[in-house]
Amino acid sequence: MGLLLYVMHKQARQLLDRFTLAVYNFRNYWTCPHGQLLLMTYLIDPKNPLPRYYQVYQSLKKRIEDGEFAPDSALPPERQLVVDYGVSRITIVKALDTLENEGLIRREHGRGTFVNAPLGTEEDGDSVPTIAFMCGVMFHPYIYSVLMGAARVASELGYNLNVIGLNDDTLNTNYAMRQVTAQNTVGVLTYPRPHYQDLKIHQDITENDIPLVMIDRYYEEIESDYVIFEEESAAYELTRYLIDRGHKDIAFLTHYEVEATSIHNRIRGYRRAMEEADLYRDDRLWFDIYSNLHVSKGQIGDQRNTNMLRERLQTNPVTAMVAVNHDVAERLNYDLMSINMTDAQAALGTENGRSYSELTVDVAAFAYHDLKDSTAYTVITGLQAGEALGTKAARLLIDRIEGNASTDVVHLHVPIEILPDAEAEDINPASADNRLSE
């Protein structure tokens, strides 16, 4: 008897659940556009190669964007979505997680899942206009200084600044563009990543007629304003300084960012100085030693870099080097010190104490602060004042927004301050033999 009552109770519970869902369906479908009772199905396509959760995510996103679910209205409960789409609850939860990560929905414990209002759509007659700043590595000291320059100008001139991080995920870049359009952004500053990673979003911005200013580097395919440093002339001066100190064997070291206009311009300046002195050699462009150097990923202590530099100096000795940026300069100084210390310790550890000749190298560096007090080998610095660059870029963008800029595309070139180390003036290691012992 007890078992029979349990079965009857379970069946009644299932019927009640179905009735509840049916009432929800009726209410939901009856209020659809055109006031028709729509017996709709959202079953996923089993032949579609996309994951099931992603198909559900796409469908729900489209329903939100089409206005089926108004801002602050509730989405159907998870059990209803399971029925609607013919998938498991785990699949529904993952789709909702994706929508929540994009900021389209919010979950309220004990109440349900609700649609968020689009960003920046609140009705406010005195609303503050917004400009966006897009970049990849947001907390690198140099990029942060650029951002601070832009933020200061935006604040002074009465604009909000929305910082948008970019990565290699297509969903992320789509979300970034949605943030721009949803917030009614009036202009965009970008720090373009190398290898044309962000070309598509730059094209989308210009196609939407949103004013755009690229900072530090630019995509040649994008016809838009940009503000950059005078990289080529600075690289020429740094290299020329080393030549004037008597150096003939000078290497140029890059890192993972090779396909960027800023890096190309620095290489051009180095080459021009070396070619004028009839000293240029292709094998002095060292692209590989620090090609894996991503300081933001914690690779500053990678011993492989030190070993590769040692091997290169054994086979292709130089007396001076130009470091393409601050990260390479700091790592290079560290590696040179490490090589000297290791060789000195090895010489002391031999039975008879073999002779030891210190590796002496002059380093010229692009850097975001003067390196002469913090590094052992840097004799001249090309100072990249990131805040000044961000300031000029933000002012140009706001001039463009407010109709105060030239109707033509504007390309601003900011000089780089050259800071030689006065204490290194009388030191000339160019005559030293820097061929390391095998």
pLDDT of amino acid 394: 97
pLDDT of amino acid 26: 33
Residue 401 has pLDDT above 50, yes or no: yes
Average pLDDT over residues 140-167: 91
pLDDT of amino acid 280: 96
| H or E, element range at 79 | helix 78-85
User: Phi and psi of 352, rounded to 5°?
Assistant: -100, 0
| Residue 304 pLDDT level (bands cut at 50, 70, 90) | confident
Distance CA 332, CA 101 (A): 40
CA distances (Å), origin 235, targets 25, 88, 434: 68, 60, 24
Please choose, from the candidates 333, 332, 366, the residue with its C-alpha nearest in 3D space to the C-alpha of residue 262. 366
Residue 48 has pLDDT above 90, yes or no: no
Over the stretch 378-397, which tens digit does the pLDDT of each residue have? 999 999 999 999 999 999 99
Residue with the bigger pLDDT between 434 and 305: it is 305
Half-sphere exposure of 50 (CA within 13 A, CB side): 12
Residue 338 carries which side chain, given as an amino acid letter?
S
| Residue 96 pLDDT level (bands cut at 50, 70, 90) | very high
Over the stretch 78-87, which tens digit does the pLDDT of each residue have? 999 998 898 9
pLDDT of amino acid 297: 59
Over the stretch 53-80, which tens digit does the pLDDT of each residue have? 989 999 999 888 878 888 888 999 999 9
Distance CA 250, CA 15 (A): 83
pLDDT of amino acid 170: 58
Distance CA 112, CA 66 (A): 21
Question: What residues have CB less than 8 Å from 175, skipping those under 6 apart?
Answer: 102, 103
Domains of the chain: 2-115 (1.10.10.10), 130-229+389-399+403-414 (3.40.50.2300), 231-385+416-431 (3.40.50.2300)
Distance CA 8, CA 71 (A): 41
CA distances (Å), origin 179, targets 72, 102, 399, 402, 427: 18, 10, 22, 22, 55
The DSSP symbol for 73 reads: P
User: Token pair 């962000």 is at which residue?
Assistant: 198
Distance CA 420, CA 379 (A): 6
Over the stretch 332-357, which tens digit does the pLDDT of each residue have? 999 999 898 887 777 675 555 556 56
Q: Are 212 and 224 in contact (CB under 8 A)?
A: yes
Please choose, from the candidates 410, 395, 397, 412, the residue with its C-alpha nearest in 3D space to the C-alpha of residue 188. 397
pLDDT of amino acid 13: 46
Distance CA 204, CA 5 (A): 63
Per-residue DSSP letters for 20-60? HHHHHHHHHHHTSGGG----------TT-SS-HHHHHHHHH
